[in-house]
């Protein structure tokens, strides 16, 4: 068997593997969407859930998911940006930085249920915040930070050293070179990584079962005072997210239309995560074009 024949066989095998993966993913997504999309309606997307009768919706769960995502990213992004800049630009290569990178890799590979139990012990019990938005958001921050730090560090490391030298040659300080040269150049990769991390956080359930809770109070969307217990902005109220709601319905839902609610909620979750991924690609390309054209 000559080299060309081996190359054709290997290429065919790789194409078949790629097609198989696409078919499996398309079948999975298609199954969820075909079952769930027919149950979607404005009433379903905005009304509160029902525990014992049919006709409930997922309105509070959708709000809780996006609100917790916002709080999580609000906490995660500044910390990850600072840590990524330090690891890429300031940290010297020695045993300490190697240990930090190894620790980050270990944290990124931890099962989310372990992170959830840690959040339960620290934020729910020790801090006394009980099941709440802030407990869930801080737990998701711990879950999200390793990925974001690695994304930002790698994005900065991908910038050629000539750009650093050019900034310093123009009389810019090291910090000015980072903020005015490196971060704008790395921004497309950073934005893409942040949005992909947001999609990962949005679909998380295991870490929130023990921290944000499996229920939500009746929310008064006319009251935006974060100090009121029924306010949507209250950080210390239980906040069942969409992913947790799906898990709970499939495990212990007793309403007559539990299957329909689960299917519809699953479709909304899948569509949201797909939207995050599509948005990441669009924004990444848009920012890249802006940076290259300016």
- Summary mean pLDDT of the chain: 86
Interhelix angle 95-108/133-157, nearest 10 degrees:
130
pLDDT at 4: 77
pLDDT at 250 (0 to 100): 84
Task: Give me the pLDDT at residue 206, please.
Answer: 85
| Over residues 32-56, mean pLDDT | 86
- On the question of pLDDT at 196 being above 90, the answer is no
Half-sphere exposure of 109 (CA within 13 A, CB side): 6
Predicted confidence at residue 203, as pLDDT, reads: 84
Residue 120: band (very low, low, confident or very high) from pLDDT cuts 50, 70, 90: very high
Q: How many CB atoms lie within 10 A of CB 211?
A: 30
Q: What is the 3-state secondary structure (H, E, C) of 44-77?
A: HHHCCCCCCCCCCCCHHHHHHHHHHHHHHHHHHH
Question: Looking at residue 131, what is its pLDDT?
Answer: 92
Note the CATH architecture for domain 40-293: Orthogonal Bundle (1.10)
- The pLDDT value recorded for residue 104 is 83
Note the pLDDT of residue 55: 80
What is the distance between the alpha carbons of residues 182 and 9, in angstroms, rounded to a whole number?
Answer: 44
Which token pair is 16? 């078949």
User: Where are the domains positioned within the chain?
Assistant: 40-293
Q: Is the pLDDT of residue 32 over 80?
A: yes
- pLDDT tens digits for 211-220? 998 888 888 8
pLDDT in the model for residue 110:
83
Per-residue confidence (pLDDT) for residue 294, from 0 to 100: 58
pLDDT, one tens digit per residue, over 167-195 is 778 777 888 888 888 888 888 888 888 88
| pLDDT value of position 293 | 64
Q: What are 199-252's pLDDT values in tens digits?
A: 888 888 888 999 998 888 888 888 888 888 888 989 999 999 999 989 888 887
What are 59-96's pLDDT values in tens digits? Answer: 899 999 999 999 999 999 999 999 999 888 888 888 88
In the chain, the percentage of residues whose pLDDT exceeds 90 is 23
Check residue 254 and give its pLDDT: 78
Identify the residue with better confidence: 71 or 255. Answer: 71
Report the pLDDT value the prediction gives residue 9, as an integer from 0 to 100: 85
Q: Residue 5 above 70 pLDDT?
A: yes
216 burial type by CB count under 10 A (0-12 exposed, 13-18 middle, 19+ buried)? buried
């Amino acid at each position: 068997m000559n080299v060309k024949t081996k190359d054709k066989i290997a290429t065919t095998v790789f194409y078949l593997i790629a097609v198989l993966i696409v078919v499996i993913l398309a079948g999975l997504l298609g199954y969820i969407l075909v079952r769930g999309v027919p149950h979607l309606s404005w009433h379903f997307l905005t009304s509160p859930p029902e525990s014992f009768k049919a006709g409930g919706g997922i309105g509070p769960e959708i709000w809780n998911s996006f609100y917790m995502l916002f709080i999580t990213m609000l906490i995660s992004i500044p910390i990850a940006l600072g840590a990524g800049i330090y690891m890429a630009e300031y940290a010297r290569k020695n045993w300490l930085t190697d240990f930090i990178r190894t620790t980050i890799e270990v944290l990124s590979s931890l099962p989310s249920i372990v992170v959830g139990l840690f959040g339960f012990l620290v934020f729910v019990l020790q801090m006394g915040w009980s099941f709440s938005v802030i407990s869930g958001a801080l737990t998701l921050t711990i879950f999200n930070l390793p990925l974001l730090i690695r994304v930002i560090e790698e994005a900065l490391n991908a910038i050629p050293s000539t750009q650093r030298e050019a900034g310093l040659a123009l009389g810019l300080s090291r910090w000015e070179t980072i903020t005015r040269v490196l971060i704008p150049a790395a921004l497309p990769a950073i934005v893409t990584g942040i949005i992909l991390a947001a999609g990962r956080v949005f679909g998380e359930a295991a870490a929130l079962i023990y921290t944000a809770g499996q229920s939500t109070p009746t929310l008064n969307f006319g009251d935006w005072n974060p100090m009121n217990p029924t306010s949507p902005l209250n950080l210390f109220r239980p906040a069942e997210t969409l992913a947790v709601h799906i898990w709970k319905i499939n495990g212990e839902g007793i309403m007559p239309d539990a299957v329909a609610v689960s299917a519809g909620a699953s479709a909304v979750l899948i569509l949201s995560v797909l939207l995050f991924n599509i948005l990441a690609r669009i924004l990444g390309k848009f920012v890249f074009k802006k940076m290259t054209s300016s």
